[in-house]
Amino acid sequence: MATSRAFLTATRPRRTATLPARITARSLITGPPPSVPPIHGTHETPTSTPLPSPNPLPAFHIPSAPVPHARQEDGKPLYVSGSQAERQARAGRMSSPLRRGTHESWWTPEMGFFNAVAKTIPTFRVLDEEGHLVRGAHIPEISKEEAIRMYHIMTLVPIVDNVLYQSQRQGRISFYMQCAGEEAATVGSAAAMLPNDEMYGQYREQAALLYRGFPLKDMMAQCFGNVEDEGTKGRMMPVHYNAPDLGFHQITSPLATQMPQAAGAAYAIKLDENRQGDCVICYFGDGAASEGDFHAALGMNSVLGGPCIWFCRNNGFAISTPIIDQYAGDGIASRGPGYGLDTIRVDGNDALGVLSAVREARRRAVEGKKGVLVEAMTYRVGHHSTSDDSSKYRPMEEVQEWTVVDNPLYRFRAFLVARGWWSEAEEAALLKKNKSEVLKTFSRAEKLPKPKLGEMFNDVWAVQKGEEMPSVISEQRAELGRLLKKYGDVWAPWRKERKRFVEEGEDVMDCDGRGA
């Protein structure tokens, strides 16, 4: 040890002496320095006041008496939580909590490792599987109209899903994702939000969108990408909805990207004095919570603030990955305290429980201008998407069991019936009405043509008043026009395909036909 040190001091200095001192100055990683950097090699980079180096040691001192061991002989801990001693420690005798990087901590001689903040995080519910009120639970304020509207959407979504899922199997649309099993979590949370709130979805939240008043017609239009697809103009895969007037932001395929965006929107709301009282809700899955974006978003939101409900649909799977392979901690909820967020775990198949928890979460988020994490425990009854066959990785009996033993629709209906708000006859009538409405909108949407062919070239870049479309786009448009003029009538596949578009491609044939 001693020799190696001697060796180092004997040989190193020659090298280090030639190193310019500025190497130790501010590195470029952190971006531009606060003032003009110098020309390479002429003078020092100005930085902040130099820190004392080395850190000065306190004067050497032998304690006159041994340090008293406070109550150690009793075998009791130095500080019992909540005790006078602990309060004193927190009030002043401990070094500044912020300096220690934590808000509430106390000194302890006990070396205790831990892997959870509580033994197990409990799951809040109002109704049990049978739809009975859980003992001690409190029914949230809910009117008959609200409850029936929730049930209406909860029963409408499976019909929409079924029709669109089957139509994909028949090759009539290209892709679909079902909400099956998560109706209570999605509708319950949507019902707790207000009309001016912003909503970021992952892709399985069509029930929330419908609850906010998105017309079935628009939903079908998006899935078919037909001329009535105002939202995405036929450019997006099915289920990539958006509804700016309802505050429902664009669904995108990359996982968890909605999360930092929701943090940004929440921060914008926090800063905007006209939007005080509004809130953001951001849905994400248990799989998405393993993305780095989850942590970036919660980190930014917890530090910068902004009213945001982080609503995790923990449905047991990320495609084929079961949660047991997704995380080793206590679910997603256990991560909330790590970011200092108020957190709750709720039974996601209990619509009333979700409504109640999200309402309270919303109130905390708005009043505290901060994030609140809600983990809703549910189960993905359907396949992940039409590109998935879940029988390959989970027993179908398990799925069956969930739909029978813990059915969110059954539970909520039992509540409605117990209240005297719902009858068998009303149910039959509602289902009939929903079904015929869905089928009618579906067949109408299927018959509609696609938007104008030229729509595919618009909006790649936003073009402001007086500006022209960038040539890289206008040239491609002209080229397509030229090719259509030449082959549009003579090549059979194009002749057929053209017919599917409004104006049959004539709109892009307005060019002189030369192209690039």
Partner 1 sequence: MRPQQLIPSIGRRCRPRLPIVLSPQRRNNSYTVSVDEPSDARPADPPAPRARSAPTPVPDEPTVEEPSLGKSDILLGTEEQALATPGLTFADGHGLRGPTGKGRQTRRMNLYQAIRDALGTALATNPKAIVYGEDVAFGGVFRCTMGLTEEFEQGIAGFGIGYASVGGCAIAEIQFGDYLVNEAAKLHYGSGGAYPLNGGSLTVRAPIMSVGHGGLYHSQSPEGFFLGAAGLKVVIPRSPIQAKGMILAAIRDPNPVIVFEPKILSRPDAVRAIQLLSNPPPSLAALLPAKLRPPNPAPSIQLIDLRTINPLPAAAVSEAVKKTGRVVIVHEAGKQGGVGNDLAGEIGRRAFEYLEAPIGLHAGAFDF
Ligand X SMILES: Cc1ncc(C[n+]2csc(CCOP(=O)(O)OP(=O)(O)O)c2C)c(N)n1
DSSP per-residue string spanning 63-94? -SSPPP-TTGGGT--S--TTSHHHHHIIIIIS
Please report how close the Cβ of residue 21 comes to partner 1 at its closest, in angstroms: 13
Is residue 253 part of the contact set for ligand X (CB under 6 A)?
yes
Distance CA 361, CA 369 (A): 11
- If contact means CB under 5 to 8 A according to the sort of partner, which of ligand X, Mg ion, partner 1, none does residue 325 touch? none
- Residues β-bridged to residue 344: 374
Minimum CB distance to Mg ion smaller for 182 or for 229: 182
Minimum CB distance to partner 1 smaller for 128 or for 388: 128
Please report how close the Cβ of residue 169 comes to ligand X at its closest, in angstroms: 19
DSSP per-residue string spanning 374-430? EEEE----S-SSTT--GGGTS-HHHHHHHHHHS-HHHHHHHHHHHHT---HHHHHHH
Do residues 216 and 441 make contact, with C-beta atoms less than 8 angstroms apart?
yes
Q: Give me the amino acid identity at 313.
A: R
For residues 53-112, which are near partner 1 according to CB under 8 A?
81-82, 102-105
Q: Which stretch binds ligand X (CB under 6 A): 30-38, 161-169, 316-324, 342-350?
A: 316-324
Query: Looking at 77, 231, 234, 285, which residue binds ligand X (CB under 6 A)?
Result: 285
Please report how close the Cβ of residue 157 comes to partner 1 at its closest, in angstroms: 22
Largest Cα span, the chain: 104
Q: What are the structure tokens assigned to 268, written together?
A: 């914008």
Query: Looking at 24, 196, 320, 423, which residue binds partner 1 (CB under 8 A)?
Result: 196
Please, is 193 exposed, middle or buried when counting C-beta atoms within 10 Å of its C-beta (0-12, 13-18, 19+)?
Answer: buried
**CA 177 to chain centroid:** 17
Those residues with Cβ within 8 angstroms of residue 205's Cβ, 6 or more apart along the chain or in another chain:
179, 186, 190, 199, 283
Is residue 318 part of the contact set for ligand X (CB under 6 A)?
yes
Please report how close the Cβ of residue 175 comes to ligand X at its closest, in angstroms: 12
Distance CA 262, CA 299 (A): 12
- Residues β-bridged to residue 402: none
Minimum CB distance to ligand X smaller for 228 or for 286: 286
Q: What are the structure tokens assigned to 328, written together?
A: 């080793």
Is residue 36 part of the contact set for partner 1 (CB under 8 A)?
yes
For residues 253-292, which are near partner 1 according to CB under 8 A?
254, 257, 259-269, 271-272, 274, 277, 292
Is residue 236 part of the contact set for partner 1 (CB under 8 A)?
yes
Is residue 313 part of the contact set for partner 1 (CB under 8 A)?
no
Minimum CB distance to partner 1 smaller for 158 or for 225: 225
Q: Which stretch binds Mg ion (CB under 5 A): 34-42, 278-286, 298-306, 432-440?
A: 278-286
> Is residue 54 reached through a cis peptide bond, with omega within 30 degrees of 0 on the bond before it?
yes
Q: Which stretch binds ligand X (CB under 6 A): 264-272, 314-322, 344-352, 361-369?
A: 314-322
Please report how close the Cβ of residue 190 comes to ligand X at its closest, in angstroms: 16
- If contact means CB under 5 to 8 A according to the sort of partner, which of partner 1, ligand X, Mg ion, none does residue 236 touch? partner 1
Distance CA 231, CA 206 (A): 14
For residues 193-222, which are near ligand X according to CB under 6 A?
204
CA angle 450, 454, 459 (to 5 degrees): 105
Query: Looking at 286, 347, 375, 455, which residue binds Mg ion (CB under 5 A)?
Result: 286
For residues 121-140, which are near partner 1 according to CB under 8 A?
121-122, 124, 134-138, 140
The residues of the shown chain that bind Mg ion, judged by CB under 5 A, are: 285-287, 315, 318
Q: Which residues bind ligand X (CB under 6 A)?
A: 204, 253-255, 285-288, 313, 315, 317-319, 380, 384
